[in-house]
Chains A and B, each alone.
Chain A
């Protein structure tokens, strides 16, 4: 009885609302494929006898290298896939899932391809860059798993724009409330008003260390003055004090928001440029290999 009796046409199958994240996509399909591939390669590496020893130049090494290049090119294509909104039954989530697990399998493929021969040359440079890309990706997976909850909780239904608006509104009130203040107190408020909430540089953004925040300083200074006086309810300093309190809370929320956003994005500034460097090194690696063949 609790079912819809009229059969309206819906393109969605029942129960499809049970959703998984990119890591669990389709019952870990890509984890299984990538894991299986890695296992197969490790076992075959152990079983196949290459003389004098495993290296990138053997038939086995070339096979691994070809798979590796193919994968790297395909993994890079995620950047295009994400931005090209073409039609068709594809899902970026499935792509991400495959990207993550196949990317991780490159650790095995790439390492076996080297035959554990490293040196100070363009070949090892390409390997090193690949590992850098993968490591930054691993960091990405970690923050994508851990941080979204914190981002959502900290927002408490406010958008970034609303947080900035709220901050601006407090600043306007501070500006008005500071008019009757003495000059040195007003200077403290001005310090806070002139502050750029985005300022402080990358390190500060990532660590969330804002101990020398001028608003906090101004607040502390004013507190020192107001704490010794009885609050008669008409002291303009008390009003400014309350506003600075609110501003600090708002700033803290905004900074946490910006910090989380930064942590979620910063790795891409390594991942993507390193990918392009990798592609360049890889080209050099391939060209030189065939040049000296």
Chain B
């Protein structure tokens, strides 16, 4: 076949099919090339009976083919029928091998040797053919597969699904759907949340996890694949699980070699980069257009819209605006200047560093989830201690951070292109400083969810955010007197390392002068005394170790290892030394810290001979506390069971201070050496509960408390995500009569949480109060502090920060 057509469309997925349908509708000569013997192979290969979703819901579908959420079979049937009705010309079994020629006369060669001639080519081949491979030892074993056709095929197997996207979740759900199949399904997620997946899928997965049908392992990645076994790196160390089959759904990348061989450039060298495209989807090879997943947009609705649009463009309708244009127009309407939507998008993309690598299509999608605002010089962007977890980017002008709360005139500028507010993404703390616009500015506000999605899908954005937050963290840790340039030099030698629980970063007796900054997680310091490890101290995120050998020379004097899965920044010793030589103040601060550390070492050495049960006991107790999650706590309730008489006044006080519901369970929890860790919030450094909160209702208060605000929708995600079981779902009980009327008249249930029976009896008839998530908020806003501690009659209940509690100084004080 060598008749020339107006448009050749490669790939008959949602994008290609929609393009072909438009071409047929417009009466353009066209050919749709499909490598298999059926249309839309990606959807065809979905699990049988899969429910296909139609997100994003705010987007209007504009295509000649219909599409709505529904079963895979129904959708395929509709498309097949409509393709036939519209008279789409399809060439099946035509896998494209090469595209040569130039605009007006492209020659397309298939693997079977057929050739097609077309004036323009639309590439809509998607990325499914090129999945990301498992890259760990044993990644080439035969029981690893990158696709799942029919989950009903597998019976009585231990199956591990790797990947936190929709594909992975749907496969896991499919495999576990029928209990009669007897599959033991585990799903692994490298991160803590399922930000990339559709929320409906995440909800189903969480439900399945709760019912025990699927084991969900977050913050876990595969370390080694063995026949019948899988070694995992988890938050708490390595774990080996039985595994007969691995289904890896870790996304896919464009088949880059083939695309590049067609003369198309990519935006960057990144493995997951996308082809460079003009606003009309034209590539760097004029006449070839790229749409769909290959262009960086994997959602069906977008693909179909693009198919429609691109044919309109090729047909000369250059004024056609994308379907989401009105939404974006409204967003940009309030901004100064008269730029078109495309100009705004391009301006933001070019100016804001973290958006640099986005394609115009990704920019559109990104802006749908974000807001952009203009500020006059001096306008407040956000106030210190205000709640908020969104990320801001300076598109024009600059921002001023008021670093000194007492003197607003001391400011640090944030220049155009950079970001601020990124701390909220990591630990959800309140705004640490007031930020004002430095000049007339334009800022993009990215919601936490959109930012997480951006970081998960655009590696370059993730790197940019990580780099900026590391720079700021170093600046904060190494204190005043350092400029961004100084830190930039340190950054050149810096390396971010992920450390498993229990893995040492510094080993006693070894050489080394590198310095480690703890970015995420926490570390414990141990010293070997008489062949036994003695617990020296606990290092929370935000502290650094290793300068003792850097300043004093010699070998490492203690072992530093991760208490929980952590992330450290390794700084080259020589670079640090050079910086210290230039900045005597920094050296001085390090020396002071070193002195206190040497005191502890000296203390341990002096007690070496008299090492008795006391120190062993201390080390054991410290280890027990770290095992119980104190390692990631910022503030935790402990009960000294030498004193606790079991009166439960702590629980009653908690209930009476908080709408009649107790947020702690005194009796439950682990105990070691009469030190009891009750079921109560630890206010983790990196709260697991915050990972997946749809209304973003969980925040960190000014005193470090993690709390849930009134926007809670009662979904229960936080309760499932909390590894310590401290969140309960309950509705607010009816108000109780006063204490005195209980005392003298016997009215009401008395102090503490009312019984279910009383609550039921006194509930407002006909009104069902919603169950919401409740947890300890450290009695924030209550004068006097935590009620549980105030109300303990014997002094058994104490609240501690781990770094205060877990230090040898305590042992010294108690013995001395």
Residues of A within 8 A of B (CB): 1-6, 8-12, 14-22, 25, 80, 82-85, 87-93, 95-96, 144, 147-149, 151-153, 155-157, 159-161, 261, 264
Residues of chain A with a CB closer than 8 A to B793's CB: 22, 82, 92-93, 95-96
Contact of A2 among B600, B656, B805 (CB under 8 A): B600
Judge whether A88 and B783 touch: CB under 8 Å: yes
**CA A148 to CA B641, docked complex, whole Å:** 6
Contact of B794 with A by CB under 8 A: yes
Listed A/B pairs (27) with beta-carbon separation below 8 Å? A1-B547, A2-B537, A3-B593, A3-B803, A5-B477, A5-B542, A5-B543, A6-B477, A8-B704, A10-B801, A17-B798, A20-B795, A84-B739, A85-B652, A85-B653, A85-B751, A89-B785, A93-B793, A95-B793, A96-B793, A144-B645, A148-B643, A148-B646, A148-B796, A149-B642, A157-B671, A159-B668
Report A18 CB to chain B, min CB distance, Å. 6
**CA A150 to CA B643, docked complex, whole Å:** 11
Report A253 CB to chain B, min CB distance, Å. 14
Judge whether B751 and A14 touch: CB under 8 Å: no
User: Could you tell me the dominant secondary structure of chain B's interface residues?
Assistant: mixed
15 A-B pairs besides A85-B751, A157-B671 with CB distance below 8 A are: A1-B548, A1-B596, A1-B597, A2-B525, A4-B543, A5-B478, A17-B798, A83-B743, A85-B653, A85-B657, A91-B789, A91-B790, A144-B643, A149-B642, A264-B646
Contact of B613 with A by CB under 8 A: no
Residues of chain B with a CB closer than 8 A to A18's CB: 810, 813-814
Report A2 CB to chain B, min CB distance, Å. 4
Judge whether A15 and B667 touch: CB under 8 Å: no
Given that A10-B703, A12-B804, A89-B783 are contacting pairs, would A2 and B593 also be in contact in the complex, using a CB cutoff of 8 Å? yes
Judge whether A12 and B799 touch: CB under 8 Å: yes
Contact of A83 among B671, B739, B796 (CB under 8 A): B739
Residues of chain A with a CB closer than 8 A to B803's CB: 3-4
Cβ-closest chain A residue relative to B667: A159
Residues of chain B with a CB closer than 8 A to A17's CB: 798, 800-801, 804-805, 810
Residues of chain A with a CB closer than 8 A to B543's CB: 1-6
| A-facing residues in B287-342 (Cβ within 8 Å) | none
Residues of chain B with a CB closer than 8 A to A19's CB: 640, 795, 798
Cβ-closest chain B residue relative to A152: B641
Residues of B within 8 A of A (CB): 476-479, 525, 536-537, 539-540, 542-548, 590, 593-594, 596-597, 600, 640-646, 649, 652-653, 656-657, 665, 667-671, 674, 676, 702-704, 739, 743, 750-751, 782-785, 787, 789-796, 798-801, 803-805, 807, 810, 813-814
Judge whether A3 and B596 touch: CB under 8 Å: yes
Cβ-closest chain B residue relative to A144: B645
Contact of A1 among B590, B640, B782, B796 (CB under 8 A): B590
Judge whether A21 and B536 touch: CB under 8 Å: no
**CA A231 to CA B583, docked complex, whole Å:** 81
Judge whether A21 and B784 touch: CB under 8 Å: no
Judge whether B791 and A4 touch: CB under 8 Å: no
Residues of chain B with a CB closer than 8 A to A149's CB: 641-642, 674
Residues of chain A with a CB closer than 8 A to B597's CB: 1-2
Cβ-closest chain A residue relative to B654: A85
Judge whether B794 and A90 touch: CB under 8 Å: no
**CA A122 to CA B442, docked complex, whole Å:** 85
**CA A14 to CA B809, docked complex, whole Å:** 11
Residues of chain B with a CB closer than 8 A to A261's CB: 646
**CA A277 to CA B546, docked complex, whole Å:** 68
Cβ-closest chain A residue relative to B551: A1
Judge whether A21 and B783 touch: CB under 8 Å: no
Q: Which of B545, B784, B793 is most buried by chain A, counting CB atoms within 10 A of its CB?
A: B793
Residues of chain B with a CB closer than 8 A to A9's CB: 702-704
Q: Which of A1, A6, A93 is most buried by chain B, counting CB atoms within 10 A of its CB?
A: A1
Cβ-closest chain B residue relative to A85: B656
Cβ-closest chain B residue relative to A160: B667
Contact of B790 among A16, A90, A147 (CB under 8 A): A90
